[in-house]
Amino acid sequence: MKWQEMQLGSFLTLKRGYDLPSSKRSEGMIPVISSSGITGCHSVAKVEGPGVVTGRYGTLGEVFFVQDDFWPLNTALYVQDFKGNDPRFSAYFLKSILAGTLSDKAAVPGINRNDLHARKIVVSTDIGHQKTIAAIISAYDDLIENNRRRIQLLEESARLLFREWFVYLRFPGHEHVRMINGVPDEWEKVPLGDIAPFKYGKALKKDDRLPGPVPVFGSSGIVGYHEKALVSGPTIIVGRKGNVGSIYWSFEDCHPIDTVFYIDACNCSLYLYYSLQQVAFISTDVAVPGLNRDFAHSRRVVFPEIKLRRLFEEKVAKCHQQINVLQELIGKLESARNLLLPRLMNGEIPV
C-alpha cells in the first residue's frame, strides 16, 4: 500500500463555489449545493460530476459526494482537481479529517482554503486501495439510504390515508354521515393552541453535546445526538427558525433545540402529527424571519370524532412501528460507519 505524508493541497485542489441567489435560479434538475447540502435546483451546472463539496461558511466540516453535475454555492468549497484520486474515497477522506476539527473556530467567520491546503495528512495514494476502502464505507451508506427510502414510503402511505379520510372525506362510513358546511356533523375545528400548545426548544450547541443515544432535533430534522433528553417521547417537533413549519415525529425521548417548537407527550398524537402537515405555517416575524407562536396557536385544526381518530391511529401505528425499527437500524449503521471510517483511513484496519 502506498501511504504518503503530504499536504492536503498535494492530494486534491479545493476551490470556492459560485454565487447563485434564489432569484437567479431557473427551473431544472441540477442540484445547487451549499455548506449544508442540496438547497435547491437550477437549469445549468457549474461543475461536472462526480464531485465533492464541503462547507466554507455556515455548516463547517460536512462533506457531500455528488454523483452527477452540480452547482456549488459560494458558501462551500468543492474539489476542483482530484489529481488522479478516487472521488468517492476523497469524499470519505475529507469527512474523516474534517469531522470535529472546525467547530473550535466559531469566532472565525469562515474557513480559508489555503489553510486546508497546507494541512499535513497521511493518505493512501494507491487507486485500487482507495476504491476498496470507498466500497466498504459506501456499502454502509447504501444501506442507510435504502432504509431512509423505506421510511419515506411508510410515511407517504400514512399521509395518503390521512388525505383520503380527512381531506377528501372518504373515511369508513362517510356515506351515512350528515355534512354541515362541508364538514361532518360531529367534527370540530379547534384553535391549535387550545389542544396542543407549542413549547420552545432549548439551545444545545454542537460543542456542548456529549456522546449518547438521544436525537437532537433542529428545524431540518435530526442534527446530532446527546446523552440527555430535554423532553419525553413521543413528541412532535415544529420548525420555528430556518426551515419554518417543518414537522417531525419522535417516538423516543429527544432534545429539541431553540430553532424549533415542540408539543409534549400528553398533547401529541399521530393524528395531530399528520394533521399539522396540512396546516399553512408561514414565517410571520419581519425583523427575524420565523414562525410566531401566537400565529401558530391561532391556526384551526379539524378534529373528527374520537372513534375515527382511534381507527386511523391504529392503522398508521403499524407503519410507525416499522419506521422506529428502521430508524434504530440507521442509527446502528451510522455508528458502525463512523467508527470504521477513521480506522480505514489511517490504515489501522488493513484491507
Give the closest residue to 237 by CA, choosing from 208, 189, 196: 196
Per-residue pLDDT tens digits for 120-138: 999 999 999 999 999 999 9
Give mean pLDDT, residues 149-156: 95
| pLDDT score at 64 | 94
Arithmetic mean of pLDDT over the chain: 90
The confidence band for 286, taking pLDDT boundaries of 50, 70 and 90, is low
C-alpha cell of residue 184: 361532518
Q: Specify whether the CB–CB gap between 69 and 45 falls below 8 A.
A: yes
Per-residue pLDDT tens digits for 70-121: 999 998 999 999 999 999 999 999 999 887 654 444 444 567 889 899 999 9
> Residue 51's beta-bridge partner residues?
66
What domains are there in the chain, each with its CATH number? Answer: 3-125 (3.90.220.20), 144-333 (3.90.220.20)
Give mean pLDDT, residues 62-71: 94
The confidence band for 333, taking pLDDT boundaries of 50, 70 and 90, is very high
The confidence band for 39, taking pLDDT boundaries of 50, 70 and 90, is confident
Across 81-85, 105-109, 180-184, 196-200, least confident range: 105-109
Give the closest residue to 141 by CA, choosing from 346, 349, 340: 340
User: Does this model's pTM top 0.85?
Assistant: no
Q: Percent of the chain, pLDDT > 90?
A: 69
| Distance separating alpha carbons of residues 253 and 235, to the nearest angstrom | 8
| pLDDT score at 227 | 94
